[in-house]
């Protein structure tokens, strides 16, 4: 069965849809957690610590977190590899372009590929910045995420990178969520409007929720 799925374009799209939904679910939790930054350093840092103790006593310290990380890495890799392979195939299937050019498809559809690349690069930067601290400016301190976040959004490029990535995320989700529903066969004529609405609301909420953090830092509400 795995072979059938992976070898088929329809199957690979299913992999993209499922991995995309896994990431989407994670993002919702991530976004809600982020908003705790508005309740001060202590609560935010405590929340970050709690994430590491999640599942205790059955789980050891950080086990749950690592489990989530593994699932996410698998999802990202599956999503990216499928996207890459499908895109290569799509480009090969349409080798010559029309001489008469026309603006086609909605903005979200056309930007799925570029948006995906932007998000991929963002994730790398985001981890190096706020998880490992490798490229962090202003003295990264593990266990002190509140300060780290404030540091990041105190630089102009930190804000620019983040804002661009979150806009890309919104567009990606807007088409991606609806598209995943079609790929998984969940769409129907009667449900189409509802699905499109959910996609738009999700995209809007996540983008707004995530952007609220740098906005908070920029406006000085979070400092």
Partner 1 sequence: MKLTLRVWRQKNAGADGAMSTYEVDGISPDMSFLEMLDTLNEELILKGEDPVAFDHDCREGICGACSLVINGDAHGPERTTTCQLHMRSFSDGDTIDIEPWRASAFPVVKDLVVDRSSFDRIIQAGGYVSVPTGAAPEAHATPVPKPDADFAFEHAECIGCGACVAACPNGAAMLFTSAKINHLNVLPQGAPERETRVLDMVAQMDEEGFGGCTLAGECATACPKGIPLMSITSMNKEWLRATRKVAKR
Q: Which runs of consecutive H residues, i.e. helices, occur in 154-191?
A: 156-183
**Which position among 42, 57, 58, 93 is part of the footprint of partner 1 (CB under 8 A)?**
93
**193 contributes a contact to partner 1 by CB under 8 A:** no
**189 contributes a contact to partner 1 by CB under 8 A:** yes
Q: Coil, strand or helix: which one is 101?
A: coil
Element (H, E) at 144: none
Complex with partner 1: residue 82 or 148, whichever CB lies closer: 82
**194 contributes a contact to partner 1 by CB under 8 A:** no
Complex with partner 1: residue 79 or 175, whichever CB lies closer: 175
**Which position among 8, 134, 155, 197 is part of the footprint of partner 1 (CB under 8 A)?**
8
**219 contributes a contact to partner 1 by CB under 8 A:** no
Interface of this chain with partner 1, residues 114 to 143, rule: CB under 8 A: none
Nearest to 169 by CA among 149, 197, 199, 193: 199
**Cα separations in angstroms, 143 against 54, 110, 132, 202, 210:** 15, 40, 11, 30, 21
Nearest-angstrom CA–CA distance, 220 and 155: 13
CA 44 to chain centre: 21
What angle is formed at CA 171 by the lines to CA 167 and CA 92, rounded to 5 degrees? 120
**200 contributes a contact to partner 1 by CB under 8 A:** no
**Which position among 44, 162, 178, 210 is part of the footprint of partner 1 (CB under 8 A)?**
178
Which residues are within 8 A (CB) of 137 and not within 5 positions of it... i.e. 6 or more apart? 151, 152, 155, 158
Complex with partner 1: residue 57 or 189, whichever CB lies closer: 189
User: How many binding residues for partner 1 (CB under 8 A)?
Assistant: 45
**12 contributes a contact to partner 1 by CB under 8 A:** yes
**175 contributes a contact to partner 1 by CB under 8 A:** yes
Nearest-angstrom CA–CA distance, 47 and 35: 11
**98 contributes a contact to partner 1 by CB under 8 A:** yes
The binding site for partner 1 (CB under 8 A) comprises 1, 4-5, 7-14, 86, 89-102, 104-106, 109-110, 112, 175, 178-179, 181-189, 192
């Amino acid at each position: 069965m795995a072979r059938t799925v992976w070898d088929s374009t329809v199957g690979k799209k299913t992999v993209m849809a499922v991995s995309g939904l896994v990431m989407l679910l994670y993002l919702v939790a991530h976004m809600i957690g982020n908003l705790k930054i508005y309740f001060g350093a202590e609560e935010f840092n405590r929340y970050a610590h709690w994430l590491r103790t999640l599942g205790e006593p059955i789980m050891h310290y950080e086990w749950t977190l690592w489990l989530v990380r593994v699932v996410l890495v698998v999802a990202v890799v599956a999503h990216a590899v499928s996207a890459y392979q499908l895109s290569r195939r799509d480009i090969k299937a349409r080798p010559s372009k029309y001489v008469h050019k026309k603006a086609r498809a909605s903005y979200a559809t056309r930007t799925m590929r570029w948006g995906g690349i932007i998000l991929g690069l963002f994730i790398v930067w985001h981890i190096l910045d706020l998880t490992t601290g490798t490229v962090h400016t202003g003295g990264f301190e593990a266990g002190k995420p509140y300060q780290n976040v404030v540091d990041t959004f105190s630089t102009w490029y930190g804000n620019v990178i983040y804002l661009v990535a979150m806009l890309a995320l919104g567009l990606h989700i807007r088409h991606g969520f609806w598209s995943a529903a079609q790929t998984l066969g969940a769409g129907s004529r009667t449900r189409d409007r509802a699905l499109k609405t959910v996609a738009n609301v999700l995209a809007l909420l996540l983008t707004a929720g995530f952007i609220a953090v740098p906005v908070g830092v920029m406006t000085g509400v979070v400092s």
